[in-house]
Amino acid sequence: MLDVDAVDAPAFVLEDALASGLGPTHVHARHQLLYAASGYLRLREGGEGARDHALPPHRAAWIPAGCAHAVEVRRPSALTTAYFDPAAFDPAAFPPAAALAVFPMPPVGRELLLYARRWGPDHVPSPTGRSCFGALARLAGEWAAAPQLSLPRARTLELRRALAALEEELARPWTLDAL
């Protein structure tokens, strides 16, 4: 498994296909722009004031460096994630919020992220790549400023079961026949 904090590149993109399951809570020294291209994820924010966030297809999350989080894959999912070394960019290029933020990924964001796939962890971005990553970070700041919706963490067993059943239903692929 790649240690994203040990990569020399100032910014890079990783793509991953994830099977169902809950990953460990972890922290990166890099900022992260996580995009769910398909599937259904629950992003679990750790630490004080912990929240859960639904990440269905075409939503993204800005996860600032140092923010503890875990990803629960509710059904097989495809992710594209950009990682940014905070020391390699002007701090004004990043979203001002120190908290994790989830937002709809606009078409321009999807396209920029897809374009940036050419700069993986083994490639140092060219001046064009640095501009692309800088634009992604600045735009993520605008997107992250939108009002946040998060899922409550249930405090009772009954409520945990009810929320799990609701999420299980949301994680199912929708078909026209089912409607």
pLDDT in tens, 19-41: 988 889 999 999 999 998 888 88
pTM above 0.75, yes or no: yes
CATH superfamily entry for domain 4-153: Regulatory protein AraC (2.60.120.280)
Q: Structural domain boundaries of the chain?
A: 4-153
Selection from 35, 139, 127 nearest residue 83 by Cα: 35
Q: Which residue has the higher pLDDT, 81 or 179?
A: 81
Both structure tokens of 164: 């799990």
Percentage of residues of the chain with pLDDT beyond 70? 87
**Helix %, strand %, coil % of the chain (to 5):** 30, 30, 40
Please tell me the predicted confidence (pLDDT) of residue 124. 80
- pLDDT digits over 59-77, tens only? 899 999 999 999 989 888 8
Both structure tokens of 75: 């059904």
